[in-house]
Structure 1
Amino acid sequence: MTRYTGRCACGAVTATIAGAAIQVRQCWCRQCQRIAAGSPTTNAMFATEDIAIQGELTATSYVAASGNTLIQSFCGTCGTQVMGQSSARPQFRTLRLGFLDTPNDLAPQVAIWTEDAPAWAVIDTKLERYPRQPPPPAVKA
């Protein structure tokens, strides 16, 4: 059963996601601010096995401030950010909410790397916060 679908701006990359989001996070790390034009990225974390991507992704990797290697994947044609993955958590992928067709029920629950947020950032006081790398999310059975 497909729970979510996604597509890039040009339609070259699409996805179907079978499972529920494990957690929805806003990430304020500097690298995410770079790819989100100064704001945080907002990402829904899913089990890797629940995601099927169609089309060709372009990727870049780097060692993040956490010490983990991160891979950022995007459409090489239109540049739409698709997902991130961490060497520390290969069982998860974080899909960008802007890539998902109808992410309306995926409200952020956690704000991470808040120590990198600019002074003007408005972070919802209801969100659980982590100044740096959070612990892995609990997977609901």
Structure 2
Amino acid sequence: MPYTGSCACGAVTATIAGEPVAVRQCWCRQCQRVAAGSPTTNAIFATDDVELSGTLTTTSYVAESGNTLTQSFCGLCGTPVLAQSSARPQFRTMRIGFLDQPHGLAPQVAIWTDDAPAWAHIDPALERFARQPPAPAPAKA
């Protein structure tokens, strides 16, 4: 099923042709900063499946994993749109809140759980990784 997305003001939109290779909840400290203390929830799509329109504002930093992470958001309304890891250029990590409903996507994995605050509730049904997980498998052709 194709997915679509838009920021709060509509200046940035996306059409995504394929299915995600993974849906993850990330508890790293940087994601907690982006998500006001909670985890980010992200669907990882093949780069070639993602078509964006509008102007993104980006910021980059070296993450605890050692990879350069570039986060992109709408410069007009601030809606987080996607992240891109230097280690995985074949993927775009789309923020679930950016995707239009109903999309039916839910996290399958919780990552960087060692960074979660003591009060965090992490669904016990989710597979967990204390730190950086292995790369997701490529999308099936």
Relative to the length of structure 1, the TM-score reads 0.97
Give unpaired runs (5+ residues) of structure 1: none
Q: Percent identity?
A: 74
Q: 1:135: Cα distance to partner?
A: 0.2
Q: Does 1:105 align with 2:107?
A: no
Q: By how many angstroms is 1:137 displaced?
A: 1.0
- CA deviations on 1:70-117 (whole Å, 9 max, x unpaired) are 000000000000000000000001100000002541110000000000
Shift of 1:139: 2.5
| Count of matched residue pairs | 140
**Where does residue 20 of structure 2 map in the other structure?**
21
Paired residue for 2:6?
A: 7
- Deviation per CA, 1:38-72, whole angstroms, max 9, x where unpaired? 00000000000000000000000000000000000
Structure 2: 5+ residue runs without aligned partners? Answer: none
Q: Cα distance 1:19–1:85, how it changes in 2: closer, same or farther (>3 A)?
A: same
Structure 1 outlier segments of 4+, above 3 Å: none
TM-score (norm 2): 0.97
Distance 1:67 1:55 in 2: 30
- Separation (CA, whole Å) in 2 of partners of 1:86 and 1:139: 15
Secondary structure in 2 matching 1:34: helix
What is the letter of the counterpart of residue 28 of structure 1? W
Superposition RMSD in Å: 1.0
SS in 2 for 1:139: coil
Cα distance in 1 for partners of 2:122, 2:101 equals 23
Local SS of the residue matching 2:48? helix
Residues 111 and 43 of structure 1, relative CA distance in 2, 3 Å threshold? same
Instruction: Report deviation, 1:140.
Output: 4.3
